[in-house]
Amino acid sequence: MVRRYWRVLVRRFAVWASPAHRAWRRSLQLRVVTLTLVASSLLVAAFGWFIADRSAKILLSRAQDEVQVSMRNKVGYAEQQLTVHPQARDPLLPRTFATIVGQLADGDPAESGGSVVSIRAGQSAELAPVTSPNVDTAELITAELVHRVSDDAKVANQIVTARVNGHTTKYLVTGSPVPTSFGHVELYYMVPLTTEDSAANQIRTTVLATGLALVIMLGVIAGLVTRLVVTPVRVAARTAQRLSAGLLDQRMKVDGEDDLALLAASFNQMAANLQRQIVRLEELSRLQRRFTSDVSHELRTPLTTVRMAADLIFAERDEFDPAVARSAELLQAELDRFESLLTDLLEISRFDAGFAALDAEHTDLVPIVERVADRLTGLAERVGVEIELRLPDTPVIAEVDPRRVERVLRNLVGNAVEHGEAKPVQVTLASDDAAVAITVRDHGIGLKPGEERLVFNRFWRADPSRARQTGGTGLGLSISAEDARLHGGWLEAWGAPGEGAQFRLTLPVRSGDRLLAAPLPLIPRDRAPALPAPGPAPAGDKAEVV
């Protein structure tokens, strides 16, 4: 019960302190001012306490010195008056006691402004103590002080706060033995420390007010100084944010010739250089894309002519010499490869130019997967690879562009067959309420750590020296990744040396929805779960369970 109560309190405090914690993390000025106030408060408090304590001790020491001088005079007077009495039983001795007290007392103790004098003969019980009128000294003269003065015959003092005649006052009580012919007589002199206490309180109040004003001034000065530094930094941060958003003409205002002005000038120079480089790179990229597109289009016309001639030669190859017939077959294969490369370049140029459009419609993905597998069966049989389909019995409907999805699957399955090393290739389809996923798993040479990101780069190959069966262009996976992004989906890869690779295509069921998880894991279920998958999973993937 207690633990739950404390947890509730801690949770409520965390909620209450959350805005302050957020402001503390985000504001440099707040941290500097707060730390300055805390440090200055500690220093001023320590210095103020030292000054106040030292002043109080000086005032008390001065009061003690004055009382000591006065006490010596009073003891001398009392000793002079008591020399005429040879013994304690002298009937005139009480009157002498009263005379001494009357002469030595000054002021009215009832007004908490006068001193109190008391004389007593502790060694003569028949002599009653005599004290200044209407003053009860029971709280002022303690047993400890009496013992030190009477038994030890020493001059002693102490500070006592007591209530005298209805007023609570602090007294400096000093006791001294008075030597006589009939034994020791004790004289006690009680001086109120009202003036010293008042002066000490005034000093404390003055130190406190001065320290508080000093702390406030330091806080204000720290805030102003920090503002002078933080404001240009904030301006630089906002300008950098605008630059990162594409507003390349943003600049900082340069005032003066100090370090902050130098920072602003350097920042502006950097922004100008970046703007020139970005504009130059954009122009080069635009020219490159235009060049690729123009070349691809321009090569279409001669390619068509060459294709017609090659088709004619290829159709008549049986009538040629075997070497010429083989040349005709090679010419036909390379023309197919060249035409595929031109097609891929044109598609890439459309993606680069932002002209690619999604023609989404509600489509059953099961027939698409089956159609891709059927078209690649011949290639799979030639290389000794079996394509295994793991498809649900019910239709899997999603709002996709069937042409692009089929192209992605054709690239994935074709690559898996090519790199399958005569081992089966599994194609799995699964879906849930929000997403549909297709995985293509091969058991070939696999991918090295880090290559699962490189496979989607243009013209990248894991092993350029390796003999290829299909003569790919090196752009298939790049186009497939662009097709997946156009759908708002993911195309991811996993691989391990000697364990094959698996590619996963994840698409939203409804076009435009945001993906949060995939129905199928990226890491194959047949892989050992103790080994972590190389490379981090994409943000939002909640289905990476082996």
DSSP-assigned letter for residue 508: E
Same domain, 397 and 348: no
| Structure confidence at residue 24 as a pLDDT band (50, 70, 90) | confident
- In a shared domain, residues 330 and 383: no
pLDDT, mean of residues 465-486? 71
Domain membership of residue 190 as a residue range: 89-194
Amino acid of residue 348: I
Pairwise CA distance, residues 427 & 396, whole Å:
15
Picking from 331, 356, 381, the residue at the C-terminal end of a domain is: 356
Question: Is 113 a domain residue?
Answer: yes
Give yes or no: residues 149 and 265 share one domain: no
Q: Is residue 524 part of a domain?
A: no
Please check whether residue 121 lies inside any domain of the structure.
yes
Contacts of 446 (CB under 8 A, 6+ apart): 495, 496, 497, 498, 499, 500, 501
pLDDT at residue number 469: 44
Q: Among all chains, which residue has been given the structure tokens 């750590």?
A: 449
The structure tokens listed for 465 are 């020296």
Q: End-to-end alpha-carbon separation of the chain, Å?
A: 41
DSSP state letters, 187-241: EEEEEE-HHHHHHHHHHHHHHHHHHHHHHHHHHHHHHHHHHHHHHHHHHHHHHHH
Average confidence score pLDDT of the chain: 80
Average pLDDT on 348-375 reads: 84
Q: Please give the residue that has the higher pLDDT: either 369 or 185.
A: 369
Say if residue 367 is in the same domain as residue 339: no
User: How high is the pLDDT of residue 362?
Assistant: 93
Q: State the amino acid at position 506 in one-letter form.
A: T
Rounded mean pLDDT of 218-235? 82
Say what angle helices 93-104 and 28-82 make with each other, to 10 degrees. 140
Q: What tokens were used for 470?
A: 């299909």
Residue 498 domain-assigned (yes or no): yes
Please check the confidence at residue 10 and state whether its pLDDT lies above 80.
no
Residue 197's pLDDT band (cuts 50, 70, 90):
confident
Reported pTM: 0.47
- How far, CA to CA in Å, does 449 sit from each of 196, 461, 462? 83, 14, 11
- pLDDT for residue 541: 37
Do 349 and 462 lie in one domain? The reply is no
The mean per-residue pLDDT over the stretch 262-276 comes to: 84
Per-residue model confidence (pLDDT) at position 123: 65
Q: What is the pLDDT of residues 85-128, one digit of tens each?
A: 777 677 777 788 888 887 787 655 545 457 888 888 766 666 77
**Which pLDDT value is given to residue 533?**
38
pLDDT at 538: 38
Looking at residue 365, its pLDDT comes to: 94
- Main-chain phi, psi angles of 187, to 5 degrees: -115, 125
Residue 255 predicted with pLDDT over 70: yes
State whether 340 and 369 are in the same domain. no
Q: What percent of the chain has pLDDT over 90?
A: 15
Give φ, ψ of 354 to 5 degrees: 75, 20
User: How many structural domains compose the chain?
Assistant: 3
For residue 546, what pLDDT is reported? 24
Which amino acid appears at position 57 of this protein?
K
Separation of alpha carbons 425 and 204, rounded Å: 88
pLDDT at 372: 92
Q: Which residue has the higher pLDDT, 212 or 334?
A: 212
The widest CA-to-CA distance across the chain, in whole angstroms, is 169
Residue 177 covered by a domain: yes
pLDDT on residue 464: 55
pLDDT at 446 over 90: no
Strand 387-390 and strand 183-192: pairing? unpaired
Q: Is 510 helix (H, G, I), strand (E, B) or coil?
A: coil
Condensed to tens digits (0 to 9), the pLDDT of residues 502-542 reads 999 999 999 888 888 899 999 988 774 444 433 333 333 33
SS3 at position 254: coil
Q: Are 239 and 251 in contact (CB under 8 A)?
A: yes
Residue at token pair 């040396």 = 497
Q: What's 124's DSSP letter?
A: -
Question: What CA–CA distances, in Å, run from 147 to 29, 171, 485?
Answer: 64, 19, 99
Range of 136-140, 165-169, 394-398 with top mean pLDDT: 394-398
CATH at residue 189: 3.30.450
CA-closest candidate to residue 52, choices 202, 214, 213: 202
For residues 347 and 471, membership in a common domain is answered with: no
- Per DSSP bridges, beta strands 425-431 and 387-390 are parallel
- CATH code for the domain of 339: 1.10.287.130
pLDDT digits (tens, 9 = 90+) for 317-354: 888 888 888 888 888 877 877 777 777 777 777 776 66
Q: Which residue has the higher pLDDT, 245 or 444?
A: 444
**Residue 219 domain-assigned?**
no
Any domain includes 236: no
Q: Do residues 165 and 150 lie in contact, with contact meaning Cβ atoms separated by under 8 Å? A: no
Q: Give the model's pLDDT for residue 428.
A: 94
State how far the Cα of 422 lies from the Cα of 43, in Å rounded to an integer. 80
Crossing angle of helices 476-486 and 402-418, rounded to 10°: 150
Both 334 and 380 in one domain: the answer is no
Q: Which of 177, 194, 211 is the last residue of a domain?
A: 194
Query: What mean pLDDT comes out for the span 207-221?
Result: 88
- Whether the Cβ atoms of residue 203 and residue 49 lie closer than 8 Å to each other: no
